[in-house]
Amino acid sequence: IATISESFMYPASPFSGRVERIHIKVGQSVNPGDPIATIVSTTGQVTVVALVSKDIAQSVSTLEPSILTQGDQVFELTPLHISSEPTDGRLFAVVYLLPQLGPASQVALLKGSEVNSSSALSGGSTDGQYVSISLPVGFADTNSIIPFIPLESVFQSQDESIVFVNESGTARARKVTLGYVTGRFVEVTDGLQDEDVVLLDRTLIEGDRVTVKSL
């Protein structure tokens, strides 16, 4: 199983740079959160990693920007990556890439973690400095007719995505086209009507009788 998991792994840096140090050896066992390598950016970009709980990581919006504040600088950014496994104890990583601020290059970790750098986030920062961040949780409050539905309600095969809707107490399958995933919800860009009531049980069979307990 470990070999199969490893075959799907593709470690990549969020910025261009050079490898300063390799922390592990070939064949060594590692755990989530163990450092593999220290990479120093050559582009002047800053990577900020927010360490959050599983619930927050699953609910962070990838559509609405997060607000990062460092000194008198404010950045509106969407996550570059959200980890699906813990990276630091039981905490999950939400990764942001700040705009280029100069020749400095570093990785800043929130929640009291280390900063792997000899320079600053921007002009006057120091190693270990905290960065304030506001994370939008859930999905955007919008008047758009494009609906979001829970991921648990979608049955997916290699060829199609299906949800079940309630039609007069009977489960009916609908082929849908999916868009962005936001936390535990997914955007449906085609296949649903405004009046459709989506059933959360994706194990239903076409024609099953259903009773809607709540809307």
Beta carbons within 8 Å of 158's beta carbon, 6+ residues apart: none
Query: Within its chain, how far is the Cα of 65 from the centroid?
Result: 12
Tell me how crowded residue 115 is: count the other CB atoms within 10 A of its CB: 19
Give the pLDDT confidence score for residue 107 in this predicted structure: 43
Give the pLDDT confidence score for residue 166 in this predicted structure: 92
pLDDT confidence band for 164 (50 / 70 / 90): very high
Give the pLDDT confidence score for residue 165 in this predicted structure: 92
pLDDT at position 127 over 50: no
- Using DSSP, state whether 59 is helix, strand or coil: helix
pLDDT at position 170 over 90: yes
Q: CA-CA distance, 153 to 28, in Å (whole number)?
A: 40
pLDDT confidence band for 137 (50 / 70 / 90): confident
Give the pLDDT confidence score for residue 144 in this predicted structure: 52
For the chain, which domains are there?
2-134 (no CATH), 139-215 (2.40.420.20)
Q: Mean pLDDT for the chain? A: 75
Q: If you average pLDDT over each of 1-5, 23-27, 37-41, which comes out highest?
A: 23-27
Q: Does residue 50 contact residue 88 with C-beta atoms inside 8 Å? A: no
Higher pLDDT, 163 or 20: 163
Q: Does residue 61 contact residue 142 with C-beta atoms inside 8 Å? A: no
Average the pLDDT over each of 18-27, 108-117, 190-199, 203-212 and give the range with the smallest value: 108-117
pLDDT confidence band for 180 (50 / 70 / 90): confident
**Cα dihedral 180→155→194→144 (10° resolution):** -10
0.95 surpassed by pTM: no
Q: CA-CA distance, 121 to 75, in Å (whole number)?
A: 13
Beta carbons within 8 Å of 12's beta carbon, 6+ residues apart: none
Burial class of 27 by CB neighbour count within 10 A (0 to 12, 13 to 18, 19+): exposed
* DSSP-H helix ranges across 30-97: 54-59
Higher pLDDT, 145 or 71: 71
**Tens-place pLDDT, residues 30-80:** 877 777 888 777 766 677 888 888 888 888 888 788 888 877 788 888 888
Residue closest to 104 by CA, chosen among 114, 96, 116: 116
- C-alpha count within 13 angstroms, C-beta hemisphere, residue 11: 9
Give the pLDDT confidence score for residue 211 in this predicted structure: 85
